[in-house]
Structures are given as C-alpha cells and as structure tokens.
Amino acid sequence: METACTFKNSQNCFYVFFLIAAPLLLSSCVVIRTAPKIEQPPSAVKSPARPSAKPEIRSAARPSAASRGFRTHIVAPGETLWRISKIYDVPLASIMSTNRVKGDQDLQLGQTLNIPSAKEPEQIITLYPSHKWKYIVVHHSATDEGSSLQFHSYHQNKGWDSVGYHFVIDNGKSGKPDGFIEITPRWLQQLDGAHCKASEMNTKAIGICLVGDFNKSEPTKAQKDSLAFLVKKLQRYYKIHAHKILGHKQVPGSNTECPGKNFPWSWFKKQL
C-alpha cells in the first residue's frame, strides 16, 4: 500500500522551506509492512460498476500439498488466468508462456491448460460487500457426474445466460478434484441466481450445488468439508441466520426433493 504525501503552502515564506524539506517528507512515506500483502482480483479493482471485493480467503478445506508437479486444468465459466494462477500458486507469466496465451481473450471454455510446477488446486473465495444476500439454498445436481462447465452448457440450452448456481462443489468425477469449490460467473458478477424461483429466492439467496444424486448416495467427505467451510464463510460475512440456510425442498412454495433424501441434515445443522 502506498501513501500519498502533500504539503500545502499558502504563503511565499513557506516555499523555500518546502524545497528543502520535500525530500525528507517524501522519504518518510515509506510504509514497512508487518504482514504479507493480500492481493485482490484485478476485475474487482478495475471495474467501478462492481462492488469492492474483500481480500481472497483460501479454503481451509483443501490445504495445499507441499510437493509441486505438472497438472492440467480445464477452463470453466468465469475463470481468468489470474484466478487460475492463484488456484495452483503458479506465476501468471509461467501459465501464459507454457500455454502460449497472451491474455484472457485467448481462453476458451473447456480448454485444457498445462500448469507447470503446480500445487494441489486450492480455491479462493471472494467476498463482495452487499446487502443483497439474505439466504443460502443448497442443491444437489441429481446427476452422478457434473461440473460448472457442464451445468453452464446445460443451462444455456435451456435459454439461461449461464450456469444457474453461484457455487458448484465437485465430486471428483468430471475433471475437478473431489470437494473443489467452483465459483461461477453469477457470483463473480454478483448476479441473481437461476436456481430457485420459489419465494423469489433467485433474487436474495446464494445458490450452492453439490454434484451428485443424493437420493442414491451421500455427499463425499471432501464435499461435506467444503460445503461446511463455504457456508460458514458466507454465513458469517453476510450475517445470514442459520434458519435462513435451506435445502431447495425447504423453500416455501418449492416442489422438489432436492437436495435428496440422503443429504446429511443432522450433520449439516451442527455446522451452522
């Protein structure tokens, strides 16, 4: 962080003093950091139309492995080179040179990127100041496999602009690690959801979808860990009371079994 220095002189007698003292004043502007720098996403800094973002919070649910290695990454909706570099803790320039891309304009949905010397993928969650979010609604995909990319394509075929959820938690069967939290364009742009019409939840509820059919099975342990981590972060930051954290079928006016009869409600309520 830089601090700007000014010296106001309204009388000529102070002008000479300013010329002598200015170098000393400027040298006193150096700030010594006592904590590591916390980076913010470039999109939040450059776009005045979007709310300022809270510093990124790395997911404690998926700690990085100490070893590094070569990995591949499938580009999902809303992802940028900057965000991908943070996921794998790899310099942006390294990803660009390895894949011969010059910027985000060269990325294509579904494109496979080579990530050199990468850590275990670890999502970063951006929290945007907002009074909009009053509820959290939990869903299952009702499919054995899936990802933000696949749901994006499916929802676009239904006439929607993009994937309807704000977050997708993977089960490890579609190219992303088990328990990995995918952030969709709806969250990055702070848009209404397209996941629950009942009680107008799309306008006021954060939609989280866990990949899986929980009428047939339960979420994986990694999915549950990530869900607990994500919900508690959102709950605390947006001051959402526990009784406003619902399964889709618990929303008044809904007609669905989502998130499935095997969703672990007793465990989930204890996390809140």
Predicted local confidence at residue 221, as pLDDT: 97
Same domain, 142 and 116: no
Q: Where are the beta strands (DSSP E) in 141-244?
A: 167-171, 178-183, 205-210
Per DSSP, the residues of 111-149 read PEEEEEEEPSP--EE-----S---EEEEEE-SSSS--HH
Q: What's the Rg (C-alpha) of the chain?
A: 23
Predicted local confidence at residue 53, as pLDDT: 60
Residue that is last in its domain, among 84, 102, 122: 122
Q: Using CA of residue 85, residue 86, residue 91, residue 93, what is the dihedral sign?
A: positive
Closest of 220, 180, 207, 162 to residue 84, by C-alpha = 180
Predicted local confidence at residue 57, as pLDDT: 62
What are 179's two structure tokens? 């328990």
Q: What is the C-alpha separation between 140 and 121, in angstroms, rounded? A: 23
Per DSSP, the residues of 12-34 read THHHHHHHHHHHHHHHTT----S
- The domain total for the chain is 2
Instruction: Yes or no: say if 15 and 9 are a contact pair by the CB < 8 Å rule.
Output: yes
Specify if 52 maps to a domain: no
Residue 242 belongs to what domain range? 130-271
Q: What is the C-alpha separation between 147 and 172, in angstroms, rounded? A: 9
Predicted local confidence at residue 159, as pLDDT: 81
Residue that is last in its domain, among 122, 142, 172: 122
Specify if 23 maps to a domain: no
Q: What is the C-alpha separation between 133 and 139, in angstroms, rounded? A: 17
Distances (CA, A) of 76 to 52, 83, 158, 182, 214: 23, 11, 19, 8, 24
The DSSP bridge partners found for residue 125 are 57
Distances (CA, A) of 138 to 100, 109, 141, 265: 39, 26, 10, 11
Distances (CA, A) of 267 to 167, 205, 224, 225, 234: 20, 22, 9, 11, 18
Predicted local confidence at residue 58, as pLDDT: 59
The CA angle 203-208-214, to the nearest 5 degrees, is 130
Q: Which CATH number is 70's domain given?
A: 3.10.350.10
Specify if 93 maps to a domain: yes
Q: What is the C-alpha separation between 135 and 248, in angstroms, rounded? A: 11
Same domain, 108 and 193: no
For 232, the enclosing helix (H) or strand (E) is helix 221-238
The contacts of residue 232 (CB under 8 Å, 6+ apart) are: 271, 272
Same domain, 153 and 232: yes
Predicted local confidence at residue 194, as pLDDT: 94
Predicted local confidence at residue 155, as pLDDT: 85
Q: Going residue by residue through the chain (272 aa), what tens digit of pLDDT does each one get? A: 333 334 334 444 333 333 334 333 333 232 222 222 323 444 433 333 345 565 566 554 454 445 899 999 999 999 999 999 999 999 999 999 999 999 999 999 999 999 999 999 988 899 999 999 999 999 999 999 999 999 988 888 888 888 999 999 999 999 899 999 999 999 999 999 999 999 999 999 999 999 999 999 999 999 999 999 999 999 999 999 999 999 999 999 999 999 999 999 999 999 98
